[in-house]
Structure 1
């Protein structure tokens, strides 16, 4: 994934995104070509390194039946939104084009399939437990859970590298970032918070640096 320096997430920011269970696209290459599946993942911290992402796939899915050729890629899209130039205060003086802001993490690693119903069921229990109390599966009954587990395959992606990107208007004027944050606040609260807490301070520091450089250059010319 192409990531300009000013759009790069820190390692800590990427880890925080990985730590939250979410649906993500699992992309793998097989003898039959590329395959992708949107699946629910949770992260396990193994102590050191990037940890492991865990999910399960239905047994009939080619990704669960064919050996992967090379590393797997898990794409975790956090949020995204259309950005209108009408939200930029500077647009009144210099009309601009719209864009799209987004936060995403690409996690690469070694794919391991677990063709063991008990392993797959344990992973499904862990995933459910991160959302709801144990009683939810207890009400289903062990016999039915065992039958359902035979239809799925457990999946682990042991992560070797993680790349995070937040294209969040960092290149805009601070007043424009504030305008975007206000416009997105109602329906994209997490993005609005990122704009205010990360993008805005970055842009303010950048514009202050430019102002200081212009002032220094002006003094030299006088």
Structure 2
């Protein structure tokens, strides 16, 4: 059985590309309006903001600098950047890097290990348990996190101590004490242009895990 410990801000102070593999096998637990769900993270993608790291990231929401939409990415690590994709899906990122250095770790896939009944009500279209949180929109829905009301909630201090069941939302991130050994790496899913090619192998996943997304290239993401 995997042993876990509460995540600390220090665990997330490196840039997103460095932190990304550390989240594989971690748990993100949410308590939303009294309903608790826990997801074991199996797939993540790293995104950097303007001036972060040695390579500009054209696929990032923060590539042009800070805006009202991406402000959470520029804050202290451990908060959740929840954004709306295609006007429908609430997607969840764990913020990485020191305050003022934008970084996001998009949670692309996970296994629901607690609260599957709750996640199933939120995700009635899921045909199999593996599909409850397979893909970033599905994962956000299974956890009950919604844009804009949950953007910026703290997955570290915000859940210490873990509160009794009540209205509202809290989140808690726990890291596996032993890192996942079998990790794959490749291009990000559905990202347009060069940012979605092998020039940016910024997606990490647990090799062979059934909850990992199917890779699909983004528009114009053509290998040279």
| TM-score band, normalised by shorter chain | under 0.3
> Relative contact order (C-alpha < 8 Å, sep 6+): which is higher?
2
When normalised by structure 2's length, the TM-score is: 0.27
Structure with bigger helix share is 1
When normalised by structure 1's length, the TM-score is: 0.27
